[in-house]
Structure formats: C-alpha cells, structure tokens
C-alpha cells in the first residue's frame, strides 16, 4: 500500500460531504447544469470530481465497478481504504466509473426492475471536456431546454426509452460535475 493511498480523503467529512452532495443533488435535479465540487484528491487517472462523488456516495453497501484505466492498483487501494466499497463486475455494480469508451457497452449494468426501478446503476463518466453546449436536453428539472456536451446521443435516447427503468449518469471533468438522469430527453444538436 502506497502512502498516497491514505491521503486525498475529506479533511472534514461531514461538512465536505454535505457540500458535495448538495452539488450532486443540484446537477441531478437540473440536467445540464454544471457545478464545481472539491474535497477529494484521488490518485490518477480519477478526477477530483469523480473522487469527491465516490467519497460522498459510496461505502461498504455500494459495489463499485472500475472501467478501463480507472481499474489500477492505486485507485483500487484508494477506494478500498477511503470508502470500503467492494470492487465488482459491471453487472453487480451500483456505481461504475471510467471514460465513456471504457464503460461501454451499457447493456450489462443493472437498470432496476419494474417494481424497484431504483435498483439501477449510476455511471460516473470521466470526460475530456464538459460544457453546457451540444446535445439539446428537455424533461424534468429543465424549465425550457438545456444543453450538455454529451459523448453521444443514441445511447442516452435508448436509456430514456426504458423509463422508469434505466441508468443515471454523472459526468466529471477536473473539479466540474454534471448529470443526466434517465428522464431527460436527448436530441443531437
């Protein structure tokens, strides 16, 4: 275990987690908005935002899947030490983290059941850039329309068609955070 495994957590967990959760809740309630989050400094290749989301939402009750380059010893040790979350395959995961390419295909993740649609995975997508431009978004949480630089449109349209089942997405880039719940209707710009 490396020394940096032990560092990079919240300095004041109750307060930093509270601020981070408010940001996560705001972006999930208002698809397309982008918020800054801070608190965690996870090992590469995880972003500050992704690390902060993991520390805020994950614990021994939430199986996590690491996709692609995120599945490295440094990240595995860091998540295990700071959250205690079990690291699992994509079918068992409540949270999955990685780049869009690494997280694909989406078919294997839990989308919930018709009686318990909440038993579905949340995907944390690490992005090269995250801006309020691009695909046009409408739906709950959006007064008129919103826009977000999504990696593609077709996958999110297919996901929304499964409603009330489906996956929910958090997008992270540096210390920036956005979200796309299953209810949002996506049109390519």
Partner 1 sequence: MTDYNFAYLDEQTKRMIRRAILKGLAIPGYQVPFASREMPMPYGWGTGGVQVSAACLTPDDTFKVIDQGADDTTNAVSIRKFFEKTAGVATTEETARASLIQTRHRIPEEALSQDQILVYQVPIPEPLRFLEPSELETRKMHSLEEYGLMHVKLYEDISQHGAIATAYAYPVKVEGRYVMDPSPIPKFDNPKLGMAAIQLFGAGREQRIYALPPYTQVVSLDFEDHPFEPSKADYDCDLCGASDSYLDEVIVDDAGGRMFVCSDTDYCRSRRAAGHVGAQGAPYEEGAA
Enumerate binding residues for partner 1 (CB under 8 A).
13-15, 17-19, 21-22, 24-26, 28-30, 56-59, 61-62, 113-118, 120, 122, 139-143, 163-164, 168, 181-183
Minimum distance of partner 1 from residue 117's CB (angstroms): 5
Residue with smaller CB distance to partner 1, 3 or 11: 11
Residue with smaller CB distance to partner 1, 38 or 72: 38
Asked whether the beta carbons of 5 and 74 are under 8 A apart, the reply is yes
Residue with smaller CB distance to partner 1, 55 or 70: 55
Per-residue CA distances from 37 to 40, 44, 97, 117 (Å): 9, 17, 17, 28
Please tell me the distance from the alpha carbon of residue 87 to that of residue 69, in angstroms, as a whole number. 14
Residue with smaller CB distance to partner 1, 45 or 92: 92
Rounded (5°) CA angle 35-38-41:
135
Minimum distance of partner 1 from residue 44's CB (angstroms): 25
Please tell me the distance from the alpha carbon of residue 18 to that of residue 119, in angstroms, as a whole number. 23
Minimum distance of partner 1 from residue 107's CB (angstroms): 19
Please tell me the distance from the alpha carbon of residue 28 to that of residue 34, in angstroms, as a whole number. 10
Minimum distance of partner 1 from residue 112's CB (angstroms): 8
What is the residue whose two structure tokens read 């999955």? 96
- Angle of the 73-83 helix axis to the 48-57 helix axis, nearest 10: 40
Residue with smaller CB distance to partner 1, 68 or 117: 117
DSSP state of 180: E
Tokens describing residue 106: 């989406």
Minimum distance of partner 1 from residue 2's CB (angstroms): 25
């Amino acid at each position: 275990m490396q020394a940096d495994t032990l560092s990079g957590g919240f300095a004041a967990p109750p307060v930093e987690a509270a601020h981070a959760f408010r940001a996560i809740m705001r972006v999930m309630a208002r698809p397309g908005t982008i918020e800054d989050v801070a608190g965690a400094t996870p090992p590469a290749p995880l972003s500050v935002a992704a690390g902060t989301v993991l520390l805020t939402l994950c614990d021994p009750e939430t199986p996590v899947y690491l996709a692609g380059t995120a599945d490295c010893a440094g990240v595995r040790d860091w998540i295990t030490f700071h959250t205690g979350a079990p690291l699992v395959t994509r079918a068992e995961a409540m949270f999955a983290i990685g780049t869009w390419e690494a997280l694909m295909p989406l078919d294997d993740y839990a989308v919930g059941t018709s009686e318990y649609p909440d038993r579905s995975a949340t995907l944390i997508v690490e992005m090269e850039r995250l801006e309020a431009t691009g695909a046009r978004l409408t739906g709950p949480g959006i007064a008129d329309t919103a826009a977000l630089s999504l990696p593609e449109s077709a996958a999110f349209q297919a996901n929304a068609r499964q409603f009330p089942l489906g996956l929910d997405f958090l997008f992270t880039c540096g210390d920036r955070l956005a979200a796309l719940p299953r209810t949002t209707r996506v049109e390519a710009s």
